[in-house]
Amino acid sequence: MEDASTIVIYSSPEHLNTMFLLAKFITKNQLTVRVTVLCSAPAPAEVQDLASVTYHRIPEAVPSVPIDDLVEQFFEIPRLSNADVRNALQEISRKFKIDALVIDFFCYSAFEVSTSLNIPTYFYISAGGFAACFLFYFLVIDENVHGNIADLDEFLECPGGPPVHTSELPKLIAFRRNKTYQHFLRTAMEAKKSKGILVNSFDALEFRAKEALSNGLCVPNGVSPPVYFVGPLIGETAGKSNGGVHECVKWLDSQPNRSVIFLCFGRRGLFSAKQVKEIAVGLENSGHRFLWSVRRPPEMQSSSPAGEFELDEILPDGFLERTKKRGLVIQSWAPQKEVLSHNSVGAFVTHCGRSSILEAVSFGVPMIGWPIYAEQHMNRVLLVEEFKLGLPLSAAPAPADGFVTAEVLESRIREMMESETGRAIRHRTSEMKVSAAAAVRGNGTSVAALEQFVRSLREG
């Protein structure tokens, strides 16, 4: 066995990108540490350029019975991979001393494997500080709420953040007998027993959440593991696509400073054709410049090859012609980081995914929150009420079908771009941009937290 020590990061395929960013952050700031990333997905291309990061691919587990629920798959497939995880850890241990295993939220089942091998085990919460608070507080909720959360109509006051209405919580925990509810509960139990929690956040953004975690306010007995805020981890901007600058970046180059509304809703953010038309009307009536990443509506999925459709099929008649001087619509993929980092972008209409929020914060772009699924509704509450870096798409609760009218979108765009409220949000966002950069630079708070984490490993 070599003397060099290793931190093993075990990721689900769903969170590989953000877990790989953690690996890069560790090796960039701790030059004597090796990191091995363990996952069943193919290795990221950039692994070959990183001398201190190795990739260990394990076989992809296949459930004996198909699992229809996507989130349940994210939990179940790692659980079925425990034997391969054990083999991988034993193989790595024959060459290196494993100082720690850092496991993804979805891979909580590996905690049993690592503890049986006497490997110190940590959790990485990519969803942020308040998400970590809520994960622990879920133990309190489970203990005190005897029915289904879906049956409640009240605000929950979780330490570390603003009150969140039960309708804003992730649907995966709405029903007690649901398998994802049980997975979430087990994750909380295992995380509470872990050696520590690493979080993709930074002090200036979520200081209250960090204090709640550090002081044990979120757990039933007031004792929780150490917490290390090591973000924001967002990756680097490349500025290129398919060997050149993306067309939308070239278009942004010709637009005035901070004038463009950017609309992008993540890889699973699909809207009906009716909703797409309504968005178009709202953009046109707002009078503001826009860059809009449009994906094929669900009802067209079976009739068109993947990624191929005509914009005229789903947009109002004449829309592209009428708005061509102040708007650009692109199909499907957009280089989000490159767009958000561009000086022409003045606001971001987002689905409130955690990565998107951190990217916008890091580039100083105020947001309009349009959550769609998972924890995004809770993230919208944080964005508006806690961070004060954005506006909600609608002031009232969203309609049951989630449909948003053109008038609502137009109103929010105008409020962000034309009102004193919008001006105050832009000012705060520009300040938070500076704090985000400082956290991961030099002696920043996140670099210091990483040093503390590594030091605790060496001290045993």
136, 217 Cβ separation under 8 angstroms: no
User: What residue type is assigned to position 101 of the chain?
Assistant: L
| Strand order across the 390-392 sheet | 327-331, 289-294, 260-264, 345-350, 367-369, 390-392
Maximum Cα–Cα distance across the chain: 69
Residue 104 falls in the annotated catalytic set: yes
Q: How many residues does the chain have?
A: 460
Residue 203 falls in the annotated catalytic set: no
User: What residue type is assigned to position 90 of the chain?
Assistant: Q
Exposed / middle / buried, residue 94 (Cβ in 10 Å: 0-12, 13-18, 19+): exposed
Q: Where are the beta strands (DSSP E) in 23-182?
A: 34-39, 53-57, 97-104, 121-125, 155-156, 164-165
Locate all alpha helices (DSSP H) within 227-353, ordered by sequence.
247-253, 273-286, 311-314, 319-322, 336-340
Give the whole-angstrom CA distance, residue 373 versus residue 180: 15
Within 10 angstroms of residue 186's Cβ, the number of other Cβ atoms is 15
Give the whole-angstrom CA distance, residue 393 versus residue 138: 28
Which of 104, 183, 246, 351 is the catalytic position? 104
Active site residues: 15, 104
